[in-house]
Every structure is written in C-alpha cells, then in structure tokens.
Amino acid sequence: MVSVPEPWRLKEKPGREVEAVVFDAYGTLLDVHSAVARHADRLGEMADDFSREWRVKQLEYSWVRSLTGPSRHQDFWACTVDALRFVCARHGVTNESFMAELLDAYRLLSPYPEVPAMLRAIRAKGAQAAVLSNGSPMMLADAFGQAGLSTQIDALLSVEAVGVFKPDRRVYALAERRLGLPAARMMFVSANPWDTQAALAAGFRCVRVNRTDAPDEYGLAAAGVPSLPDLAGLPELLH
C-alpha cells in the first residue's frame, strides 16, 4: 500500500481530479543504464562508473546549452553523443564501432519491468498517460516503439517543441498546452528530484520515483510529494 502525505492526498469529490499522468522518460520509464549493461562484459569493472559518468555529462551538456542561450541549443541526441565521446576519451575507449554500438543501444533503452502493466492500469482508470522528456522526437519514437509501449502512451512530448531543456518552466507549460489541462489536474512523475521540483513549482501534483532509496532533496518530502520505490504502486494514487 502506498502511503500518501496528507497535503497531497486527493479530496473526495465528484469528478476526476487527476486527468493525466505525465512521465519523465529517461531514468523514470526507461533504464538509462541498460545501454551500457548490454555491453558490460566489454567494459569490465569500469562499466558502472562509465554508465553513471555518461549520464552525468549528458545532463550537464543539456543544462549548459540551455543556460547559454538559444544559439547554443542542440538536441538531446547531440548531448548524448558528445557525452559518450567525453567519457570514452576519459576511460581510453577508442573503438569507434563500439561507440556506435553503445549509441544504438541508447536509442533502444529498456523500460523498467513494471512499466507496461503500470501504464495499462493508469489508462484503465480513465487517465491519459503522457511523456514529457528532454529526448528528441527520434529518440522517444525509437525507444517507446521498440519497447512496444507506443499504444499505451497518449502523447510523446519532446522539449524540442520549445527549444530548451528541463528544468526550464517552458517545458512544463508544454504539457499544459498539448494536453489541454491545467497543471493542477495532472500528476507529474519523475525519478529525477530536480525535475520533480521544477514540475512542482510549475503547479503539478508530483510523485518522485526513488529506486535507490536516496535522501530527500529540494524539500520534496516536506512539500508532501509521495516517494515510491518503483512505478508498480503508482496506479493506487489515482483511486
């Protein structure tokens, strides 16, 4: 049973209060470490550090490009490629064909095992399921298509529609505009605390996915944001 803090709990009154559940993609629905995991035997004992550093650099490049202005914007795929090249150079990986294999694997990241059933349950309750992601349209179409999840998602929303990365406020406004709902009638779900904090500031009801039992950040717990160990229990919050 999911424990929901009282400040967040849905009030009992006619009509559905949450009409759409908006998910982050990378690290929330899709396992960002599954690309390296498929080739872990070729990287040996540095595989875990390699994967973590790739993710950190990917996000760093997205934030710096946002902060330095529209003329510096490149899509998330470019950030992903540049981050991989940096991490490969740092770890002495020089095989270009291996880098290409890693990038191919990143385009087809594995969803977490509970995701398909969870999405079906969300939509069975009458709520829309949407994705709001830094990923480029190509990245999102490839990942969700190969995972067989496209039919369970009502909208795949990429930041490329606004030309800036999360946590810029314009990204979260995109979900309101495209889904035709105010933020207060949507639930935003992310495994990234900084993403959760930004969505909360934009007026969404938020849920944090905390797969590693990491400490609270950004005062999310005090703000009444539920924290789940995975997505299996999420549909309970729509009762």
Q: Do 128 and 199 sit in the same domain of this protein?
A: yes
- pTM of the predicted model, to two decimals? 0.92
Q: Do 101 and 147 sit in the same domain of this protein?
A: no
Q: Do 204 and 160 sit in the same domain of this protein?
A: yes
For residue 15, is it within any domain?
A: no
CATH code of 169's domain: 3.40.50.1000
Mean pLDDT of the chain: 93
**How many domains in the chain?**
2
49-93 confidence digits (pLDDT tens) = 999 999 999 999 999 999 999 999 999 999 999 999 999 999 999
For residue 2, is it within any domain?
A: no
Q: Do 182 and 90 sit in the same domain of this protein?
A: no
For residue 1, is it within any domain?
A: no
What number is the average pLDDT over the span 17-22?
94
Q: Do 84 and 115 sit in the same domain of this protein?
A: no
Q: Do 45 and 142 sit in the same domain of this protein?
A: no
Residue 163 structural domain: 20-31+110-238
Per-residue pLDDT, 5: 45
Of the candidates 76, 54, 190, 61, the one whose C-alpha atom is nearest the C-alpha of residue 139 is 76
What number is the average pLDDT over the span 43-52?
97
Last residue of a domain, one of 66, 88, 107: 107
Q: Do 73 and 120 sit in the same domain of this protein?
A: no
CATH code of 55's domain: 1.10.150.240
113-123 confidence digits (pLDDT tens) = 999 999 999 99
DSSP string, 93-154: ---HHHHHHHHHHHHTPPBPTTHHHHHHHHHHTT-EEEEEESS-HHHHHHHHHHTT-GGG-S
Last residue of a domain, one of 59, 75, 107: 107
Q: Do 96 and 193 sit in the same domain of this protein?
A: no
Confidence of residue 17 (pLDDT cuts 50, 70, 90): confident
Of the candidates 10, 21, 86, 20, the one whose C-alpha atom is nearest the C-alpha of residue 54 is 86
Q: Do 125 and 148 sit in the same domain of this protein?
A: yes
Q: Which residues are catalytic?
A: 24
For residue 229, is it within any domain?
A: yes
Q: Can you list the alpha helix ranges (DSSP code H) found in the chain?
A: 34-37, 40-43, 47-67, 76-91, 96-107, 115-124, 137-146, 169-179, 193-201
